[in-house]
Amino acid sequence: MRNVVKTDNTKTDKVITKKAAPDYEEIYQGRFDKHYDELKWLYMELYDNSSMFEELCDRLKLFYDQRGDALKRQDDAREAQPDWYKQNDMLGMMFYIDNFAGNMKGVEQHLDYIEKCNVNYIHLMPFLDTTEGKSDGGYAVSDFRKVQEKLGTMEDLEKLTAACHKKGINVCMDFVMNHTSEDHQWAKRARAGEKEYMDRYFFYDSFDIPSIYEQTVPQVFPTTAPGNFTWLPDAGRFVMTTFYPYQWDLNYRNPRVFNEMMYNFLYLANRGIDIIRIDAVPYIWKELRTSCRNLPQVHTIVRLMRMIGEIVCPGILLLGEVVMEPEKVVPYFGTVEKPECHMLYNVTTMATTWHTVATRDVRLLKKQLDIVSGLPKEYVFLNYLRCHDDIGWGLDYGTLWQYGMGERPHKEYLNNYFQGYAGNSNSRGELYNSDPVTGDARFCATTASMCGIEKAETEEDPEALQRAIRFDVMLHAYMFMQSGIPVLYSGDEIGQTNDYSYKDDPNKAADSRYIHRGKMDWKAAAAADDPSTVAGGVFQSLDQLEKIRKSEKAFVSYAATWTIETWDQSVLGIGRYYQGEKIIGLFNFSEHDKTAWINETDGLYEDMLTGKKREARGVDIPAYSFYYLKKV
């Protein structure tokens, strides 16, 4: 549509063309009509409740009308470029708001630092209202529409997301779908015996049915929170609690639960959130005599959620938290025709990376990277060296057995290694959820402490310190070469080590995961420009790598990737290719100097860190070092 305005001029007429305002009613109707048939079919298949479906449709329009114009314009731009998040400029950082900057206003004040880190995607760890001492790190939500008072308000959140958008920074948050806190209003009313609210959870008068569930449902925390049900003496009933006793599982067989949780999802999206991380998504549908994991109805719900987002707020992304190996998480992407999650975590590769660190053996890692490389390029993984959680040893033990590594003794070796007790280790950290009966345990530490920076600083060993920094940087360089989007944990960019002060807090002392959730060391961050410091040494090296990644199109998520045989079990080779550009990464996981026995015969390559030209054959790599080589 063109509006033409003519103005008189003594010499000529000027024609001014005004761009018509978007017809948001027409845009919404088009999106709604596109998805209506499938939306209704899946909803009715799941619930067979037309009145609840009609209510959902009415509320979708209401949330769309409430969505701000700036967010609607962003939606339009992202619809026009649907692969906007697959580019080589995407770099994430995750942090707890209070540890990073006190509160949301503090985060806003530190956006310049986030920009300096080359980060354009921040994951704000759980910030919705919860109960102190019964929060599981914020994953026990008592109000989905209220921010924890110590962190700010919903208005502060909207101001923060708006400020981020002005700087081109995307904001991610956790949406805890599987359960609520026992202090949520629904739970309180259920506890008081109101049937409508009891039906939103799983309540049982006796242990008869729970006992049947327990026969097939695995335990998430067998040592700290055994079983999947909790007895409520005041209510005289059992309630399903897959995670901790204060986290009550929601009953998604009830359409009221689904509808209300979708309204919460849209409310939060309208606050300016760009990426919704669906927490514990495989758990959300429960069926008797099953594992209550990854059931078909889960995919129906996620597909419904994807369509609801595309109708109301198509600029947002769904990030699924699915803790399984890459080939098994693939169903959570859906299909090209009927997509579910936009992105998934590459959890297994993260765990296998640390196995590789402890064994100096890249064979399993190479196998898993080959699996990821063979998946459709539409699938986007988030890659990381560590996150807010522990590192669990969910490795491919069938393959490891072929290498002479039995499951139980290998888990024991890994836990001993990273505590610094075995394998000539320089790592420091602590076990989490250790089970002396099964021998299972998980591990917690910062990247820097696992690479030996903490030990070297404690022992005042400058040579060991430089080696540890080099190791830390090499691992980040390797992460940047993986297929997908790299995500840093706040503090890793300055080599921050373990924080043992959590032991002094009675609400945290029993949870060793807080060892790597320490407060941001802003004093160290102030030295990020000084390469003679640990912070500066790590920061400046990562800065160089991040800028290389953003400037080279071969780092886009949909580039071709493959592993390269180096003929040395300690050296990993990765290739990337896109539109005529080829890059090779070589990574030495050993404390000894090694040679990558590659033999690329297609001409000269440029060392991307030094600019020097060389052949890509028989590459000598110092201990814990790497090369980025670009075909000239």
* Calpha distance 2→20 (Å, rounded): 7
**Which residues sit opposite 614 in a β-bridge?**
605
* Calpha distance 438→356 (Å, rounded): 23
* Calpha distance 606→612 (Å, rounded): 6
For the packed helices 24-47 and 50-66, what is the interaxial angle rounded to 10 degrees? 150
Q: How far from 170 is each of 83, 88, 480, 512, 516, CA to CA, in Å? A: 15, 15, 19, 30, 24
Handedness of CA 478, 480, 484, 487 (dihedral sign): positive
Instruction: Residue 302: name the closest of 274, 329, 324, 268 by CA.
Output: 329
* Calpha distance 611→574 (Å, rounded): 20
C-alpha 437: how far from chain center: 31
Neighbour count for residue 553 (Cβ, 10 Å): 15
Q: Do the Cβ atoms of 417 and 358 come closer than 8 Å?
A: yes
**Which residues sit opposite 582 in a β-bridge?**
577
Please list the active-site residues: 279, 321
Residue 628 is inside which H or E element, if any?
strand 626-631
**In the numeric block, which tokens belong to residue 571?**
């050296």
Q: What is the DSSP letter of 184?
A: S
Instruction: Residue 84: name the closest of 321, 384, 276, 343 by CA.
Output: 343
* Calpha distance 36→19 (Å, rounded): 30
